[in-house]
Amino acid sequence: MKFSDQKIIVTGCASGIGAKTCELLKKEGATVIGVDRNPTTQFVDEFHHADLSDPVSIDALIEALPSGANGLLNIAGVPPTAGATLVLQVNLLALKRLTLGCVDKLADNAAIVNVASLAGVGWPEAIPSIKAASSLVDFDQVGAFCEEHNIDDARSYAFSKEALITWTMQNRWTWRDRGIRMNCVSPGPVETPILKDFIATLGKRVEEDMKVMDRPGTPDDIAPAIVFLASADSVWIRGTNLACDGGMFNHIQCAMNDLL
């Protein structure tokens, strides 16, 4: 089994893509260390409660997590209906704080996988705000940052994923001396309770584009991509944003460039 004798940390383990990822990891022999705000015993060997909107809770989590984990899978996130401040706190600042706090505790050759989104594909048009966000670490300053950069509730989810994709790219070789790699997966529309939020975030054009899809994705479609990037099979993949979207991104790109 691919993950025999390996410990993998999974945030957002209690439901959706996170739960399915834990299930696949268990089938491949992993010891799964789950993190969520909602308790669960399903598909996890060890569970840690954490509030990812609270830096104190995140720091306590980092302290409590065991050393020597072979993977950190950042799957937890909140939709745009949670409000811009909370979205950036959880989807961006918390993820970065947890990851950077765990790096020294990870085993050599560990894999870090971040779940981004098709909503983040517009990152090249958001570079000034993304650069400004790179120095944002104080959770209490997120509201002011959103006001300054015109990031309202509807924009917040896409921006958090744009910044996450670029952060993943920038850290492609940061821990190369220890063999630690970082990649991300960008799901397209996934059949979850926040699918309508996702469509609203991307706008009417994407709602129209979705009509050409055969179906929305499911956690069963996304989890294998995450597990692949966590495995030794992906050791030469670094800083990559893997689209797992039923072809939606390429459809949008073709439409934008008159290639349909």
Q: What angle do CA 187, 98, 245 make, to 5 degrees?
A: 5
Dihedral class, residue 5 (left if φ above 0, else alpha if ψ from -120 to 50, else beta): left
Q: Which of 145, 157, 159, 228 is an active site residue? A: 157
Q: How far apart are CA 112 and CA 223, in angstroms?
A: 14
Q: Compute φ and ψ for 91, nearest 5 degrees.
A: -75, -20
Residue 5 CA, chain-centre distance (Å), reads: 25
CA dihedral 62, 194, 31, 229 (to 10 degrees): -90
Structure tokens at 54: 């609270």
Structure tokens at 128: 């000034």
Q: How far apart are CA 71 and CA 88, in angstroms?
A: 23
Is residue 157 part of the annotated active site? The answer reads: yes
Spatial CB neighbours of 2, under 8 Å, sequence gap ≥ 6: 28, 29, 231, 232, 233
CA dihedral 237, 52, 89, 180 (to 10 degrees): -20
Q: How far apart are CA 114 and CA 11, in angstroms?
A: 10
Location of structure tokens 């949670």? 82
Active site residues: 157
